[in-house]
């Protein structure tokens, strides 16, 4: 999840440098386009390569970013804390761990005026079964069958798997009366989308498109912005100077640039995931817990995070959670909430248990060979590069020789999946579901031989006790039982160090309050500030028109 938006940031790196340089020499001011009305929101969310393709098929990975503003799921999840908001389903019930009952909301219409019904939901699920390439979240690995009765759609799972409901519930629903006639839905671009969401397509050009408020929307009275404009090119200099209302972007020196440009510019950078070190557990010495403990204690996580994210992000605890959003899930028995302090003496003691001692400033094994490793990050991720450089320096201080490798993003991802690395900086979590985050990272069923692509669990952690905990989690719908199992999974992460949590990766929310108020903040964290996937539905229905200044 955490990697999903990083590729779009690469093109903006040069703009970041230019913006930072400009900020040092002149005071940048925002000059909004006067032709954009007070009821219109300018959003930096999409990008053309180099131009925009008119693709609003919600099941294609290259669909326009605003597609989820048009199509809606049964449930919207706040990925910060996992809170589930019934959406096209007015109620979700799990009578047991292998059954999900969705009560479908009545009175909802498609943007063409046709009624939305349970048949649309059943049709959408069947469509993903018939065309597996459209099933990008893999719901049919869980579903055995789907049935309808009145206003209820029942999903019968193949086996007890209570957490699967969260994944299934987030599928975007499409209208049967349109899609049933589409001959090739797996390639169809759906240029004129008809959805249930708050917006419908307005104008579309290769450089920019617009959305207009859907007056038939079932929550129309809650939607303040009547028009949205999404340019296909959004450099960070543009974001600061052209009066954007909402952007999702890391900006260097946000106070001296974004905030200084306009008195109504605000930002909120909550944790959106965790930046971790993945050790390749198939290789020595990383398969030795004592060696991993040494690595962990050698690191000053706060300093690494400060260097990488310019002080905006906090050190992450060795617990797998996003804090403070998931404080209620935190195992109270974890020392200091799982935070690991740098302890050089402790690190050397742990390395000694693993057979490595310090001699002449080098950490050597019994044969006198210096501990040498490669540390991989993706080329172009400037914040991650700063992180691995800090890690290189700190491990060098205990005598480990570290070589940094920077393959291009696609090659980095392939190496991660194939296990072609020693240590790799990567992303963990951020789904809002404790189970999903831990399952993809720890379930041994994802382990593949070196050279074969693993879909997740890149470190190739395999532990029968952990597999048992995950299986027990799947088998129960009782929240208190799940909470206790969550505590035990946190203990696994803390004690066995399958990966090393370093610092939080940010959700880089930039917004302007001159036209619309009610944005998510640290005091009101009802949603992540991201403007992609289904999260914006929570925001669009929460914003209010700003009061005119006197």
* pLDDT tens, position by position, 245-274: 999 988 889 999 999 999 999 999 999 999
pLDDT for residue 108 is more than 70: yes
pLDDT of residue 470: 98
Question: Considering just the CA atoms, what is the radius of gyration of the chain in Å?
Answer: 24
User: H-helix or E-strand containing 452?
Assistant: none
Q: Give start-end residues of each CATH 3.40.190.10 domain in the chain.
A: 7-64+197-270+507-545
The structure tokens listed for 18 are 């230019």
Question: Residue written as tokens 């291009």?
Answer: 408
Mean pLDDT of 499-516: 97
All residues at 6 or more sequence positions from 217 whose CB lies less than 8 Å from its CB, including other chains: 111, 196, 197, 198, 223
**DSSP secondary-structure letter at 68?**
H
User: H-helix or E-strand containing 372?
Assistant: strand 372-376
pLDDT for residue 26 is more than 50: no
pLDDT of residue 29: 65
Of 269, 318, 273, nearest to 429 (Cα)?
273
CATH of 7-64+197-270+507-545, one of 3.40.50.150, 3.40.50.2300, 3.10.180.10, 3.40.190.10: 3.40.190.10
User: In the predicted model, what is the mean pLDDT of the chain?
Assistant: 93
All residues at 6 or more sequence positions from 26 whose CB lies less than 8 Å from its CB, including other chains: none
Q: Give start-end residues of each CATH 3.10.105.10 domain in the chain.
A: 272-505
All residues at 6 or more sequence positions from 60 whose CB lies less than 8 Å from its CB, including other chains: 134, 189
Global pTM value: 0.91
Q: Give start-end residues of each CATH 3.90.76.10 domain in the chain.
A: 75-179
CA distances from 5 to 10, 270, 337, 534 (A): 10, 16, 29, 14
Beta strand segments in 57-207, E: 75-77, 84-86, 89-96, 99-104, 143-149, 152-157, 199-205
**DSSP secondary-structure letter at 255?**
I
Of 480, 444, 497, nearest to 320 (Cα)?
497
Q: How confident is the model at residue 13 (pLDDT cuts 50, 70, 90)?
A: very low
With beta carbons less than 8 A apart as the criterion, state whether 278 and 423 touch.
Answer: yes
Mean pLDDT of 46-52: 90
What are the backbone dihedrals phi and psi of residue 212, each rounded to the nearest 5 degrees, phi first? -115, 150
pLDDT for residue 496 is more than 70: yes
CA distances from 406 to 229, 374, 431 (A): 36, 10, 27
All residues at 6 or more sequence positions from 120 whose CB lies less than 8 Å from its CB, including other chains: 173, 174, 175, 176
CA distances from 236 to 12, 241, 256, 313, 439 (A): 6, 9, 13, 20, 36
With beta carbons less than 8 A apart as the criterion, state whether 195 and 216 touch.
Answer: no
Q: Tell me the CATH architecture of domain 272-505.
A: Roll (3.10)
With beta carbons less than 8 A apart as the criterion, state whether 502 and 277 touch.
Answer: yes
pLDDT of residue 35: 77
Of 375, 351, 376, 377, nearest to 364 (Cα)?
351
Rounded Cα distance between 316 and 338, Å, is: 8
What are the backbone dihedrals phi and psi of residue 193, each rounded to the nearest 5 degrees, phi first? -65, 140
Q: How confident is the model at residue 481 (pLDDT cuts 50, 70, 90)?
A: very high
Q: How confident is the model at residue 32 (pLDDT cuts 50, 70, 90)?
A: low
Q: Is 118 left (phi over 0), alpha (psi -120 to 50) or beta?
A: alpha
The structure tokens listed for 439 are 């399952």
% of the chain with per-residue pLDDT over 90: 89
- The superfamily in CATH containing domain 75-179 is Dipeptide-binding Protein; Domain 1 (3.90.76.10)
């Amino acid at each position: 999840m955490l990697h999903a938006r990083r590729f779009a940031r690469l093109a903006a790196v040069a703009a970041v440098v230019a913006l930072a340089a400009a900020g040092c020499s002149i005071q940048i001011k925002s000059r909004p386009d006067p032709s954009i009305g007070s009821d219109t929101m300018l959003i930096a969310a999409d990008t053309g390569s180099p131009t925009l393709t008119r693709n609003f098929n919600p099941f294609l990975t290259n669909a326009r970013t605003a597609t989820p503003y048009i199509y809606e799921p049964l449930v919207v999840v706040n990925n910060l804390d996992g809170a589930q908001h019934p959406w096209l389903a007015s109620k979700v019930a799990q009578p047991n761990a292998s059954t999900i009952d969705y009560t479908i909301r009545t009175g909802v219409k498609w943007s063409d005026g046709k009624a939305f019904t349970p048949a649309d939901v059943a049709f959408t699920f069947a469509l993903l079964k018939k065309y597996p390439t459209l099933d990008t979240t893999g719901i049919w690995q869980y579903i055995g069958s789907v049935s309808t009765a009145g206003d209820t759609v029942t999903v019968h799972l193949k086996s007890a798997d209570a957490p699967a409901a969260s994944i299934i519930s987030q599928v975007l629903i499409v209208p049967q009366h349109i899609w049933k006639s589409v001959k090739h839905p797996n390639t169809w671009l759906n240029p004129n989308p008809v959805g249930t969401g708050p917006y419908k397509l307005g104008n579309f050009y290769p450089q920019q498109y617009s959305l207009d408020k859907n007056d038939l929307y079932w929550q129309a009275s809650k939607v303040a912005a009547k028009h949205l404009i999404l340019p296909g090119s959004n450099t960070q200099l543009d974001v600061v100077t052209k009066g954007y209302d909402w952007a999702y972007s890391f900006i260097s020196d946000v106070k001296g640039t974004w905030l200084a440009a306009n008195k109504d510019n605000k930002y909120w950078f909550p944790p959106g995931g965790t930046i971790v070190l993945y050790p390749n557990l198939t290789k020595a010495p990383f398969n030795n817990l004592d060696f991993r403990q040494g690595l962990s204690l050698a690191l000053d996580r706060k300093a690494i995070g400060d260097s990488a994210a310019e002080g905006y992000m906090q050190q992450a605890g060795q617990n797998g959670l996003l804090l403070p959003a998931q404080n209620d899930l935190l195992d109270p028995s974890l020392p200091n909430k799982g935070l690991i302090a740098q302890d050089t003496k402790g690190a050397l003691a742990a390395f000694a248990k693993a057979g490595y001692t310090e001699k002449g400033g080098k950490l050597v094994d019994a044969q006198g060979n210096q501990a040498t490793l490669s540390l991989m990050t993706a080329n172009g991720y400037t914040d991650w590069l700063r992180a691995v450089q800090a890690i290189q320096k700190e491990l060098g201080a205990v005598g480990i020789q570290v070589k940094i490798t920077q393959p291009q993003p696609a090659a980095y991802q392939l190496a991660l999946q194939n296990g072609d690395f020693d240590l790799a900086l990567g992303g963990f979590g951020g789904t809002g579901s404790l189970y999903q985050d831990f399952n993809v990272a720890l379930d041994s069923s994802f382990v593949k031989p070196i050279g074969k692509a693993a879909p997740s669990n890149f470190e190739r952690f395999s532990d029968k006790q952990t597999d048992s905990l995950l299986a027990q989690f799947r088998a129960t719908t009782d929240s208190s039982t799940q909470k206790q199992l969550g505590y035990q999974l946190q203990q696994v992460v803390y004690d066995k160090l399958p990966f090393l949590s370093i610092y939080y990766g940010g959700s880089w929310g930039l917004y302007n309050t001159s036209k619309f108020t009610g944005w998510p903040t640290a005091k009101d964290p009802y949603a992540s500030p991201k403007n992609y996937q289904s999260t914006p539905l929570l925001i669009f229905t929460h914003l209010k028109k700003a009061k005119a200044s006197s």
